[in-house]
Amino acid sequence: MLKADDSMFNITQPGEETQSERSDTNCGESLRSEKLDDGQSEPSEKADRSTEKDDGGSTAEPNEPVENEQRNENIQKNVNGTAQKKSVKFDNVYMRDAYLVLRTLCKMTMQPMPEGPIDPRSHEMRSKMLALQLLLSVMQNHAGPVMKSHKTFAQLIKQFLCVALSKNGVSTDPSVFEISLSIFLILISNFKYHLKMQIEVFFKDIFLSVLENPSYSFQHKWFVMRALAKVCADPQIIVDIYLNYDCDMVLDNIFERLVNDISRIAQGNLADHGLTPQQEAQLQHKGMECLVSILKCLVEWSKDMYRRPQQRLDESTEKDGEGKDTSTLEEKLLETPGNENIGNDTPRSIPRSTSMSSLASAGLLDNPQEFENIKKQKSILEQGIEKFNKKPKKGIEFLQDAGLIGPTTADVARFFHTDERLSKTMIGEILGDDSEECKKIMSDYVDQLDFNDMAIVTALRTFLAGYRLPGEAQKIDRLMLKFAQRYYENNPELEMFASADTCYVLAYSIIMLTTDLHNDQVRNKITKPDYIKMNRGINDSQDLPAEYLEGIYDEISANEIKMRYDKGELTRVNAARGANESQKRQLYKEAMTDLSKNALVMMEGVSKKDTVFTSASHSEHVRPMLMLTWTPFLAVFSITLQDCNDTELIAQCLTGFKCAVRVACIFKASLVRSAYIQSLARFTMLNVSSGFSEIKPKNLEAIKTLITIAFNDCNYLEESWYDILKVISQLELAQLIGTGVKTKFLEKETMMDKKLVSSLQQTLGTSANQNVIVAVDRIFTGSDRLDGSAIVYFTDALCKISCEELNNPVAHRMFSLQKIVEISYYNMGRIRIEWSKIWHVIGDHFNKVGCSPNEEIAAFAVDSLRQLSMKFLEKGELPNFRFQKDFLRPFETIMKNNENNLIRDMVVRCIAQMVNSQARNIRSGWNNIFSVFHMAAADRDQAIVELAFQTTASIFEQYFSVIGDSFQDAVKCLSEFACNAAFPDTSMEAIRYIRRCANYVTENPEQFAGDDNNQENVWVKGWFPVLFELSCIISRCKLDVRTRALTVMFEIMKHHGKDYKVAWWKDLFNIVFRIFDHMKLTDLTPEQYRIQRKEWMTTTCNHALYAVVDVFTQHFSILSELLVELLNLIQWCVKQDNEQLAKSGMNCLENLVMGAGHSFKEADWDLIIDTITEVYAQTLPADMRIWKPTLDSSFDQVSLHSDTSMEPDNTQLAVSRADKNLFQHLDIGCVVQTEIVQTIDNIIFFPASSAKEDARIDPYYISEENDTPPPEGMFNFLTTKQLFRVVECLFESHKFSKGFNMDIDQRKILWKYGFKGKTLPDLQAQETSSLLCSLRILHKIYSDMSRVDEWPKTEIYLHRLTVESFEYYTMLEEDKRRFSWGKIVILMLKKMMLLDDERFVVLLAKCYNQICHILAQDNERDLQIVLSKFFLRARDPLFKASS
């Protein structure tokens, strides 16, 4: 056992290997004494041998890119000792030995191969294979935790093993290539956390390039596909690749490129790769396996987010009862190739190295949101680069707007240097553009290059490496000028160049020399002396050294300055160069040689870079991965299913569909999910229009896959249920057609023949395919496994399919409608909040189906509703819930919109059955029940009306106490029965039940008040509905029914009004006033309106008005606040052109005052007086004084003035309709004016008391035994001011009528045209009655001792009135008028005689002359007697006055 001290393991690493070390690398001698370096010497040595032959025997290209040259120069500096020495420490000797062994094996694999064809038995090849196999064995079997975690071994792998693999990974020998791939798989599995940059190189520059380049052999491609199949089967690796490369701003999109390349292979797009059909098929199968493995990895990685459907509660009972496990149905359904159980299978993958948690510290924290933001920025950057490569200025503007490039030209120039994805041609276009901004960019671009200590050729190579030189001479000239300026500034110590002009001319000459020597079209090549001669005098009129120019010539001749081509452009350029296929293949090989060298350079360049590898740990990464790749996946699967009949490929495609749908469902990617399911649904070929004869076995497999998705991912499908259920519906139709039952469903009868029926029966009738039918049934029977939102999507889709089936123009089907009923039963046990959402969808569908014009469909819908409703009502309902209302609403809709009597009768019978059997369980459903009966009540079918009313009556008789909040609907229902004019007996019976409702409210107010004993609810929920519906009956029904309703309504008000509050009365009178609003409607024709209006006013309005006033008078103490509304109503009635209603209005006003006047306040009396004056003003027939006929020639104006006779002839002339209406209006106005006077008289003096009072005024009146004083009116309740207002109104009435009576000509005109019938029109009654009433009021005031203060004003009125009356009487000549005015004179004289002597003498003095004139005339005997009594009364006062 060796005892080693620390010095044994402290190994010094020089920057250069010793000579003995180089000589001993193949044999591996004295490893313990060998000095170890940190990896710089070996890459340098290998770089120096870059011009040697590679392991494939081909000679390396002599013209290496500028990167190789620069790399060699940098390495040479290290070789010359510029690098610092470093030491590596080991924990023990075994670690050092392992380190030395691995490094030696890596060096052995990179030994050059001899020229010529490769001999597998050669020493060099056997040595290389041995070293590779040993490396594979060590990495596969002996790479323990120390090697995986120790930094020293990580550096060893990066600097030696990865470089070795990059060289052998492009080997043309299949064995070398295969072992290299195997070692790479181990590295990506166990050491990926240290090899982030190396893995990118492997994928981007080696493996994916092999797949993309047609020049590689089938074996190379096959080995790569086998390796990728293992990579694609590891979920951790797949997600890590996306996270570390596709979500890195500077690295290539490895995952996206991997999927795209494999998709291209899986589609079989390999026609230009020179493969046989068998080889293409093998690659296609392997590519399909890789794609499906990737999707399985995505499913596996996101499985924690997946929720499996709930198991049915009765599943175990089904197993026991049926004797078999229902899950076996699914297993049978899935017993098809490629239908593995997603989520339960473990993908075949390369072994896991360590757990995720143990490696989480090896990288960045896995923040999904941060990586997603990076990916979005990268996508924007790539979009900007794409724009730049097409239109560079727009691309720059886009990237600057996105904030990915700074606003300055220096930022743009720096971006040109750093991003290799930019088009070199477009960069050259920008740098050579003549605009000032582009010139500034070009200047900054060159200034950012460092040409210090570079030869001019090397500097020129570096300068031209970043872009492609434009073709225009002026652009090239500007670039060369700037290059010369920059080169001269970076190399001031070069004394060879006199100025920058020398650099400019020399650079230009180098460009020309390169074109001349290496352009095949130039035949006469320039010679070295010619080149030296061409450059004479360019150095400030001096020559550059000839040796210097010769060196430039030799270097350019050996290694031309090559222009940089864009990726993808090389193929087009090389294709243009070659004239045949062999030349093109040779050019491809040359390009791939450059690619292998670039891969080696890239691997060496990243060997010392320390990058952080993030280990994915979150499931959220799968969502952006899916969104990035779902389209190529879908394209591959769709094309393969459509064009291929290979069973294995079809099975893989269907598995891919299941996996893709699963991931899309988990992350709610509705677009992706819909695209895959719709595509899969199309492949089922279940479409009537295309013909079922096209169904093939692969279509049946697609059906099975779709059903499997529906069963397993049922909670995530959302709108995609429509496509799945559409297929299920068509599958059922195909079965019907296959059995020959439903041939009518085919659009063309010619398609249906025995051969087709036999084909469908054979396709769908096998026992294996019968399992599909069983699985379909399980989708519906297992719908209770769906969560609350999924079942809503399911039912909505099923309803849409049902609508399509029922609206089929060929023949309707009810398959989906039956399934709707079934799933309703299966899901009846859900919680109410879920069931209400389900029924919202199903109920709307039943609304449509129940209103179908097809009687069979509508009847099925109604019967299904009945069954579901009965089932649901059995569960009952808690108080204050409303689900029964929602459940029974379809019955309302059907009853409302379906005019088929059979269906309407069926609805009524269904509701009646519910009431008879489930009345005790009904709560909120009463609203719907009464609503249905409400619509049935308006029907014209006797059977429907009778059944509905009988059921309604039974509810009132037996279940009145349980209808609860539906009391209003019940009363409304009765109201509709009452309004059905076709059944008068039912109407009267309905009103009787409404009267019972009022009694019920009185007896059970607590049922309406609620738990909080809110009395307002008694009115709102109890009284108001009853009275309101009665008012509706009054407004709508015929005379007998509305009269009965009116009677019942006011009976209720009279008997129960004492319990009403003021607010209730306000609402009630609003209801009552609606009765009078009926005739305000104008939706009738004029003739209909006139007839109905007349009937309404003479019957209902009269009755209602008297009843309203009666109730108001009875409850005035409560209703006093509503006096204004009542007076407005009376005023409205009086203003109508109906004589009877107008009289009734004034009579009602009189009744109101006489009944409640003793309770009036002064303000109430003001309202009464206002009403009287307004009615007087509004009904005054003023047009009587001014009306003239439209045709003056129709009347002899002269005869009117010449004929003084008051008896005109009987000839009358015709007038227009408008004038007739006017005459009618004026006639009614005259009646109203008279009624006003009579009403005033009756109010103030009480009816019929005026005549008795006049008789008692006679001083010689002899009273009888039973004679009682006349009853007092309301005189004492009115103020003098109010009485004077009445007197003024009477004066105005008297004045108007008196003026009309004196206008004989106008009266004759009116009579001539038919006004007032056959007699000459006059207003004699109005003239005299108004004056008499005013006289009574004034004398009553004048005799009232309590109003002494008002006597002076009263005297003025009396003096004026008395004098005017006496004078007018003396002027009268017409006997009729003198007789009428004689009564006035008698009353005046009698009233005067009752005055005391003082007031009598004063009044007598005012009218003494007029009385004497009356005495001188031929008067009636009554007047003469009164005059004699008057003068006898005046004797004593006159004598006293004279004495």
SS (HEC) of 1223-1260: HHHHHHHHHHHHHHHHHHHHHHHCCCHHHHHHHHHCCC
Share above pLDDT 70 across residues of the chain, in percent, rounded to a whole number: 79
Integer CA distances (angstroms), 1340 to 372, 984, 1344, in order: 103, 57, 6
Element (H, E) at 12: strand 10-13
Q: Residue 120, SS3?
A: coil
Query: In angstroms, rounded to a whole number, what is the distance separating the alpha carbons of residues 1091 and 1319?
Result: 28
Query: In angstroms, rounded to a whole number, what is the distance separating the alpha carbons of residues 502 and 537?
Result: 9
Residue whose tokens read 């015929």? 1038
Residue whose tokens read 């005015």? 1381
Phi and psi torsions of 321, nearest 5°: -75, -35
Decide if pLDDT at 258 tops 60.
yes
Q: Residue 13, SS3?
A: strand
Query: In angstroms, rounded to a whole number, what is the distance separating the alpha carbons of residues 79 and 874?
Result: 96
Separation of first and last alpha carbons in the chain: 180
Work out the angle between the directed axes of helices 855-873 and 832-850 (0-180°, nearest 10). 160
**What per-residue confidence (pLDDT) applies to 627?**
92
Token pair recorded at residue 35: 């000095």
CB neighbour list of residue 1288: distance below 8 Å, 6 or more residues apart: none
Q: Residue 595, SS3?
A: helix
Token pair recorded at residue 1381: 């005015």
**What per-residue confidence (pLDDT) applies to 32?**
35
CB neighbour list of residue 1007: distance below 8 Å, 6 or more residues apart: 961, 964
pLDDT per position as a tens digit, 1244-1289: 887 666 656 655 545 455 445 455 555 667 888 888 899 999 999 9
Output 31-34 pairs: Cβ under 8 A, ≥24 positions apart.
31/97, 31/100, 31/101, 31/104, 32/96, 32/97, 32/100, 34/100
Which of 47-61, 98-112, 1265-1279, 1426-1440 comes out lowest in average pLDDT? 47-61
pLDDT per position as a tens digit, 383-414: 999 999 999 999 999 998 988 899 999 999 99
pLDDT per position as a tens digit, 931-980: 999 999 999 999 999 999 999 999 988 888 888 788 999 999 999 999 99
Output 1198-1207 pairs: Cβ under 8 A, ≥24 positions apart.
1200/1304, 1200/1305, 1200/1308, 1200/1309, 1201/1305, 1206/1304, 1206/1320, 1206/1374
Task: Kindly report the average pLDDT of the chain as a whole number.
Answer: 79
CB neighbour list of residue 223: distance below 8 Å, 6 or more residues apart: 174, 177, 178, 181
Cβ proximity of 89 and 9 under 8 Å: yes
> What's the Rg (C-alpha) of the chain?
58
pLDDT per position as a tens digit, 864-884: 999 999 988 888 887 777 788
Cβ proximity of 1160 and 1277 under 8 Å: yes
Q: Residue 539, SS3?
A: strand
Token pair recorded at residue 489: 């500034």
Decide if pLDDT at 582 tops 70.
no
Q: Which residues pair with 10 in a beta bridge?
A: 89
Count CB atoms within 10 A of the CB of residue 934: 22
Query: In angstroms, rounded to a whole number, what is the distance separating the alpha carbons of residues 227 and 223?
Result: 6
Nearest of 828, 825, 820, 824 to residue 799 by alpha carbon: 820
Query: In angstroms, rounded to a whole number, what is the distance separating the alpha carbons of residues 856 and 62?
Result: 89
Cβ proximity of 648 and 691 under 8 Å: no
Is 472 tagged catalytic? yes
Nearest of 1027, 1123, 1033, 1129 to residue 1071 by alpha carbon: 1027
Count CB atoms within 10 A of the CB of residue 992: 13
Residues, the chain: 1443
Query: In angstroms, rounded to a whole number, what is the distance separating the alpha carbons of residues 1294 and 1289?
Result: 9
Q: Residue 234, SS3?
A: coil
More confident residue, 72 or 1385: 1385
Give the active site residue among 29, 437, 472, 694.
Answer: 472
**Alpha helix (H) residue ranges in 1023-1138:** 1024-1036, 1039-1056, 1062-1077, 1086-1096, 1102-1114, 1116-1119, 1123-1135
pLDDT per position as a tens digit, 444-497: 999 999 999 899 999 999 988 888 888 888 888 888 899 999 998 898 888 788
CB neighbour list of residue 254: distance below 8 Å, 6 or more residues apart: 199, 200, 203, 204, 208, 241, 242, 245, 246
Instruction: Identify the DSSP state of 542.
Output: B
CA 434 to chain centre: 53
pLDDT per position as a tens digit, 1306-1360: 888 888 887 776 778 888 888 888 888 888 888 888 888 888 888 888 888 888 8
Q: What predicted TM-score, i.e. pTM, was given to this entire model?
A: 0.69
Q: CA-based angle 1194:1199:1202, to the nearest 5?
A: 165
**What per-residue confidence (pLDDT) applies to 1231?**
87
| Percent of the chain that is helix, strand, coil (3-state, to 5) | 70, 0, 25
Count CB atoms within 10 A of the CB of residue 424: 22
pLDDT per position as a tens digit, 1117-1156: 888 888 888 898 888 888 887 888 888 888 999 899 988 9
pLDDT band with cut points at 50, 70 and 90 for residue 995: very high
Instruction: Identify the DSSP state of 744.
Output: G
Average pLDDT over residues 594-606: 68
